[in-house]
Amino acid sequence: MRRQRRMGIGMTDKTPPGDRIAKVLARAGVASRREAERMIEAGRVTVNGKIIDSPALNVTSAHVITVDGKPLAEPEPPRIWMYHKPTGLVTTNRDEKGRETVFDHLPKELPRVMTVGRLDLNSEGLLLLTNDGEVKRKLELPATGWLRRYRVRVNGKPTDDMLVPLREGITLDRETFQPMEVSIDRQQGANAWLTVSLREGKNREIRRAMEAVGLTVNRLIRVSYGPFQLGQLKSGEVEEIRGRVVRDQLGLDKEFKPATTPRPKVNRRRKPPGGKPRRQ
């Protein structure tokens, strides 16, 4: 009975119909599933007029859901965009230090989107965006196993022997990094260009791993995330991935909304980090 009172919908021992409330919120693009759970615990979500405080609740289309007093909108078809993140932007909705975020520089015509994973302040390159929290979750799961490839410039003169620990996997501050694929592309004066590939990215993993073998990263560009390639996408631009491609790659049964144009891009009048608006 305690469980029934907390949920407020007359649960029985049988599995109730519908989906978990956090999953429904994620599907509607409100937030990722984890963020939705925090919103629920904060008392920001109601079901049939009652505030809920636990995500352990299944709902169907018959339930009336509100978030911060606003009715939950019907979920749009899942969509994914590729964004060429410049340096100098943080990958978060809000920054406590007041720094500019990637969301400050996205085109206004985009719907509410979430980032798939992160790139740190000084990293650049491919960042995937989606309007669907379940797609975000699926792409971020280590079980997905998608290879993430980076072009990395380091200060120093790396040798194959120096890179052996990275290829075998190292442990730093009690945190174990999985083996990386690392190749030396070319030496260019005091710097060298490397290609680094990994399947599970942790916070500043490449930078920390390179420091451990005596190399300092001074530029890091993500060039691919699984089957999606940065290609010729320019810094600051956005391109939607066609629905058929996404559906085939993710194996999703939900219909994807196709890109309206081959290459929808960021409004070039938006002010780039630390610079003036570009003229068209």
Domain chopping of the chain, boundaries: 2-71, 80-250
Query: In residues, how long is the chain?
Result: 280
Least confident of 51-55, 86-90, 140-144, 236-240: 140-144
What is the third-level CATH fold of 2-71? Answer: 3.10.290
- Asked if 134 and 253 touch (Cβ cutoff 8 Å), the reply is no
User: For residue 251, what pLDDT is reported?
Assistant: 67
Round the CA-based radius of gyration of the chain to a whole number and report it. Answer: 22
Provide the pLDDT confidence category of residue 252 given band limits of 50, 70 and 90: low
Average per-residue pLDDT in the chain? Answer: 83
Alpha-carbon distance of 145 to 142, in angstroms, equals 5
User: For residue 32, what pLDDT is reported?
Assistant: 79
Burial bucket for residue 119 (CB in 10 Å: 0-12, 13-18, 19+): buried
Catalytic residues: 120
Encoding tokens for residue 238? 């956005």
Amino acid at 114: M
- Asked if 177 and 171 touch (Cβ cutoff 8 Å), the reply is yes
Provide the pLDDT confidence category of residue 31 given band limits of 50, 70 and 90: confident
pLDDT digits over 56-81, tens only? 999 988 899 999 999 987 777 888 99
Q: Point out which residues pair with 229 in neighbouring strands.
A: 224
Q: Give every strand in the sheet of 50-51, ordered side by side.
A: 50-51, 45-47, 65-67, 70-71
User: For residue 141, what pLDDT is reported?
Assistant: 80
Least confident of 10-14, 135-139, 173-177, 179-183: 10-14
Alpha-carbon distance of 274 to 66, in angstroms, equals 39
Alpha-carbon distance of 75 to 190, in angstroms, equals 52
What is the third-level CATH fold of 80-250? Answer: Pseudouridine synthase (3.30.2350)
Q: 219 pLDDT exceeds 60?
A: yes
Q: The whole model's pTM is what? A: 0.73
User: For residue 14, what pLDDT is reported?
Assistant: 64
- Asked if 92 and 223 touch (Cβ cutoff 8 Å), the reply is no
Provide the pLDDT confidence category of residue 13 given band limits of 50, 70 and 90: low
